[in-house]
Amino acid sequence: MSSDVMTLPGVAEYLRLTEKTTYRLAADGTLPGFKVGGSWRIRQVDIDAWIEAKKAETKQSVRPEQPERALPATSSIGEQTR
């Protein structure tokens, strides 16, 4: 169970970030973590959930759902009707 809680260097390696970036993300609340005696700790399950949330967020921003547009009504000779 001890491997469930990671330090910032471990999180940085896991996410392939610099330790400085990882510290900044933890300090500003972007990464889900907590401090113990002045040192950051982050649970791996929280990191994995954060990654999944970011993936879902990215998918929505890349392909936002757009409502289908209705085609204008046309008469039999191809003119638009009102």
Instruction: Answer for the pair 46, 14: CB distance below 8 angstroms, yes or no.
Output: no
Report domain 2-62's class.
Answer: mainly alpha
pLDDT at 65: 61
What is the domain partition of the chain in residue ranges?
2-62
DSSP-based three-state secondary structure for 35: strand
What digits encode the pLDDT tens for the residues 32-76? 999 999 999 999 999 999 999 999 888 777 665 666 666 666 666
Smallest CA-to-CA distance from 31 within 9, 8, 13 is with 8
The confidence band for 28, taking pLDDT boundaries of 50, 70 and 90, is very high
Q: What is the rounded CA–CA span in Å between residue 47 and residue 40?
A: 13
End-to-end CA distance of the chain: 69
The pLDDT of 12-40, averaged and rounded, is 95
Question: What pTM was computed for the model?
Answer: 0.66
pLDDT at 41: 97
